[in-house]
Every structure is written in C-alpha cells, then in structure tokens.
Amino acid sequence: MAGPHTLAETERQVQARLGDLTLDFEAMAVVSNLFRAANAVRNHLERTVLAPADLTWTAFVVLWVVWIWDRVETRTIAAEGGFSKATLSGVLSTLESRGLVERARSESDGRLVDVTLTTAGRKLMRGLFPQFNDEERAITRHVEDLGSAAAMLRAMTLATE
Amino acid sequence: MAGPHTLAETERQVQARLGDLTLDFEAMAVVSNLFRAANAVRNHLERTVLAPADLTWTAFVVLWVVWIWDRVETRTIAAEGGFSKATLSGVLSTLESRGLVERARSESDGRLVDVTLTTAGRKLMRGLFPQFNDEERAITRHVEDLGSAAAMLRAMTLATE
DNA sequence: TGCGATTGGTTTGGGCCCGAACGATCGAGC
DNA sequence: GCTCGATCGTTCGGGCCCAAACCAATCGCA
C-alpha cells in the first residue's frame, strides 16, 4: 500500500486530510509493509519456482499440504491453506485433471472427501520443494532474528482471530 | 501454509520426505507465517470494514492511493498498490461506474491517464480510513516493537527485488 | 524530419477467490 | 426407527488477478 514515497510524506498527506483525528501511523506502516512483503514474495516465488512448473500459488499450497500429510480431508486443506472451501473445490478439480491429486470419498463418513497425491504429484513436489526452500532462504537472508520474526507474524495472525 | 499442526510436526514430515537434503526450516516458518498473517489480516479487514461499504480489498487500496495523492497517473497506482496494470484497469472501471473515481487523459502526455476521487469518493474515504486505522491498531497491539517489525518486513520485500 | 523502439492503458482469456445457496450425509435425542 | 439440526463438498455468480496481445502516443537518434 505505501510505496515509493517516503513514510513521512505519506503521513503528512494523511494528516492533511484527517488532521483532527488521532491515528496510529506505526500500525499503518506495519500493516502496509506486511502486504507489500507478502505480495513481493508471492510474485517472486510464482515467477521463479512455480511458473516453470505451470503451477499457481494456491495450487502449490494445496499440493504442499497434501504432500506433508499424505492423506487429508478437504476441509483440512482449506483451513491450512487459508482459503475458502469454494476456492479449494475449483483448485482441486484443476489439479485432479492434471493428474497430480486424487479425490476419494471417505469410507467412514460419506460427507468427507480425502485427497492424496498421485505418483506424478509426489515426484513434482520432491523436485519443487528444495527449490522453493532455497528461495525462502534467500528472501529471509537479511532478517536478523528469524525466530522473533516468525513470532511477530504469529502475534498478528492471532490478534485477528 | 503451516497451520494448526505444530511446527515440529511439520518439520518431521518434511524431513521424512527429503531427509537427504539440507533445508532451512526457520526460513520456511517465516515465509509461511508471513502468508498466514497477510491472509488473516486481509480477511479480517474485508469483513469488518470493507464489506459494509461494499468494497473489495484492492478497490480500497486504489481509493487510498488516489485519496492520498489527490491526482495520480494509473501507472503510479499500480506500482503503489502492488498489482498489475491489467488488474487496475478493471478495478478502476468498477470504481468509476460507482461514481467514486474519475479518469482523465493527461494533457501533457496523451498516453497517460490521471485519476481523481469524486466528492462521493472523498466522503467515503474520510469515513472509512479512521475505522481502518482502528483495526490496524488492534491487529498490531501485541507486536512489541512496531518499528523493527516494519523494518523486518521491508527487508524481506527488498530481498526479492 | 522521419522512423523504429519504447512506454502506457486497455482488452482478452484462463484461473483464482469468496459468499450464498444447494443437496447429501450424519448424529443426537426422542 | 425418525426427525431436526449441523456439517461437508460442490455449484453459481460476480469480481479480482495476471500475462500476452494490441493500439495509440511519444521519444531517440540520426
């Protein structure tokens, strides 16, 4: 949200429009930078790692969750990935048509659908994830304390729930 | 990406699949938490502040940039907002049809288009932004050092460019 | 001055994204 | 057994999202 302009300049402009209100500019800067970072990182990873494999961001997240947990119910994937079940339904259909995942109705509960990776899906993830992690390392290389960075982000996530 | 499961459990699963490779789990956790936070914050703000005004996230960002800078070229909006010019073109059409912004071809350069807020657009932002900032304050209330948090996020953004 | 290269915004096509509505299934309590 | 409420995945409609193709305007450079 806040961009090439300086922070001070942005504050000045906001103050000019809402001078009579008390605002929290530090909070504004943090939220703004959160989205700039997430956007930049996502675009970067999509271009460098995902595009060559013809995968979208969300498709990769779905594959990742299924890969880690081997056999997952769709509701779990949606919760872990942070998107709606409606979105997941479409992405799963795409991945299924490409032969990367398989849907199977649960035997113990007829409402649930279990998802697993096909052999092709597992092979793809095994090749992709190391590249992905290399980029993650590069992206965070200038972050001093990774542990406290993760904790800070978790604090924001929790504060919204 | 990483969700209800514990971090240690996730690492164990990844290690089981890629045990022979060196991975950076701390970097993985930071990137993962970055997206969880951004998703959670965005969804929260959309539901609490934006939905009542019938605005999407991107539409609000566009309005915000134009509001701050009064008269902006579309290329600037796209750069500040962090999305493509193709996306912007569609969102601007939506906002224009709702009477919140106006497009005007630049007089000095026939390729450029300047965007301004209408009176209705300014009125909307004046009412909306204080609510938005209140939520931003609440979201960051458990972050100890807002300054270093913003710096950390900036470091990640810069590392991808 | 002329013309190829660059820049800027829009359009197009395909995919993601959500809330709401829907049909199927399950389970608690009678 | 039966029913009512809750849960699950899918579908639908509308909007966002991007890359690539496109056209108009401008610039660079001889």
Residue B101's domain is classified under what CATH number?
1.10.10.10
CA A74 to chain centre: 17
pLDDT by 10s per residue, chain B, length 161:
434 456 677 777 777 777 767 788 889 999 999 998 998 899 889 988 999 999 999 999 999 999 998 899 999 999 989 899 999 999 999 999 999 999 999 888 989 999 999 999 999 999 999 999 999 999 999 998 999 999 999 999 888 87
Verify that B85 and B45 share a domain, yes or no.
no
B156 contacts A40? CB cut-off 8 A: yes
- In this complex, the answer to whether residue B73 has its CB under 7 A from any atom of chain C, a nucleic strand, is yes
One domain for residues A70 and A147: yes
CB contact under 8 A, A69 and B13: yes
Is there a single domain that holds both residue B3 and residue B28? Answer: yes
Task: Say which nucleotide is closest to residue B84, CA to C1' distance.
Answer: D18
Q: Indicate the number of domains in chain A.
A: 2
Same domain, B81 and B146: yes
Neighbours of A119 (CB within 10 A): 9
- B contact residues 18-77, partner A, Cβ 8 Å cutoff: 18, 21, 23-24, 26-31, 33-44, 61, 64-65, 67-69
CA–C1' span, B31 to D27, in Å? 42
Contact A21, B131 (CB under 8 A): no
Specify the pLDDT at position A20: 63
Q: Are residues A36 and A103 in the same domain?
A: no
Q: Check whether residue B42 and residue B115 sit in a common domain.
A: no
In B46-145, alpha helices (H)? 57-69, 74-81, 85-97, 119-139
Distance CA A61, CA A101 (A): 13
User: Cβ of B131 under 8 Å from any chain A Cβ?
Assistant: no
**Spans of chain A, pLDDT less than 70:** 1-7, 20
Nucleotides of C under 7 A from a protein CB: 7-13, 15-20, 23-27
Cα–Cα distance between A57 and B7 in angstroms, integer? 21
- d(CA B131, nearest CA chain A) in Å: 10
Any atom of strand C under 7 A from CB of B65? no
Is residue B102 located within the same domain as residue B118? yes
CB B24 within 8 A of CB A139: no
Which has the closest alpha carbon to B57: B83, B35, B37, B31?
B83
Domain check: are A103 and A48 in the same one? no
Kindly state whether B161 is in contact with chain A, defined as any CB-CB distance less than 8 angstroms: yes
Domain membership of residue B4 as a residue range:
1-53
Domain boundary among A13, A34, A53: A53
Q: Is residue A48 domain-shared with residue A59, that is, in the same domain?
A: no
DSSP letters along A67-120, please? Answer: HHHSEEEHHHHHHHHTS-HHHHHHHHHHHHHTTSEEEEE-SS-TT-EEEEE-HH
A29 and A76: one domain?
no
State the pLDDT at residue A1. 42
Residue A80 and residue A137 share a domain: yes
CB A75 within 8 A of CB A81: no
User: Residue holding tokens 């190391």?
Assistant: A130
Shared-domain flag, residues B60 and B30: no
Number of H helices, E strands in chain B: 7, 3
pLDDT tens readout for residues A68-97: 988 999 999 999 898 999 999 999 999 999
